[in-house]
């Protein structure tokens, strides 16, 4: 996403903000919304979905990514994440994003008041472990 595509960035944040309204965050009371932009221009959104068995809860970013992959998408340009506190994706989500996203994937973090910060996945998860590090199957 370049300077010229700031409209797209704002649109992606708006979709993440909308997705956040659907968060099922009964335990943490920390709703998260995410919107993932594919290379082809499609957007898949996600929210966190918690569970009474806390460890089964899933983050908004992974919901968005899994929806996209289940729809046949494999190539991504950017993800916007909206939280009250400008939270960056957790370690598990960074790893899951790295399975499909390049180091250049833009991670746009925003809050409902309009604060925005942009990272790359490479910045958030340098020297990541990927399938490149797996030995050939024997």
Q: For ligand THU, give the closer residue by CB, 32 or 35.
A: 32
Q: For ligand THU, give the closer residue by CB, 6 or 117.
A: 117
The 3-class SS string of the chain reads CCHHHHHHHHHHHHHHHHHHCCCECCCCCCCCEEEEEECCCCEEEEECECCCCHHHCECHHHHHHHHHHHCCCCCEEEEEEECCCCCCCCHHHHHHHHHHCCCCCEEEEECCCCCEEEEEHHHHCCCCCCHHHCCCCC
Contact mark string toward ligand THU, 90..119, x via CB under 6 A: x--x--------------------------
Q: For ligand THU, give the closer residue by CB, 51 or 130.
A: 51
| Pairwise CA distance, residues 120 & 113, whole Å | 22
Residue 61 annotated to the active site: yes
Q: Rule CB under 6 A: is residue 129 a binding residue for ligand THU?
A: no
Contact mark string toward ligand THU, 49..78, x via CB under 6 A: -x------x-xxx-----------------
Q: Rule CB under 6 A: is residue 17 a binding residue for ligand THU?
A: no
Q: Which of 61, 102, 104, 113 is catalytic?
A: 61
- Which residues are catalytic, by number? 61
């Amino acid at each position: 996403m370049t300077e010229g595509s700031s409209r797209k960035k704002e649109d992606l944040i708006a979709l993440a903000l909308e997705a956040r309204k659907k968060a099922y965050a009964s335990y943490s009371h920390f709703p998260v919304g995410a919107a993932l932009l594919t290379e082809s221009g499609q957007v898949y959104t996600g929210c966190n979905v918690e569970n009474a068995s806390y460890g089964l809860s899933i983050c908004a970013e992974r919901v968005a990514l899994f929806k996209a992959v289940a729809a046949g998408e494999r190539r991504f340009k950017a993800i916007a994440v909206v939280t009250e506190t400008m939270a960056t994706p957790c370690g598990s989500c960074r790893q899951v994003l790295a399975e499909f996203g390049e180091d250049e994937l833009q991670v746009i973090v925003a809050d409902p008041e309009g604060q925005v910060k942009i990272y790359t996945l490479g910045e958030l998860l340098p020297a990541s472990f990927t399938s490149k590090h797996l030995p050939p199957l024997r």
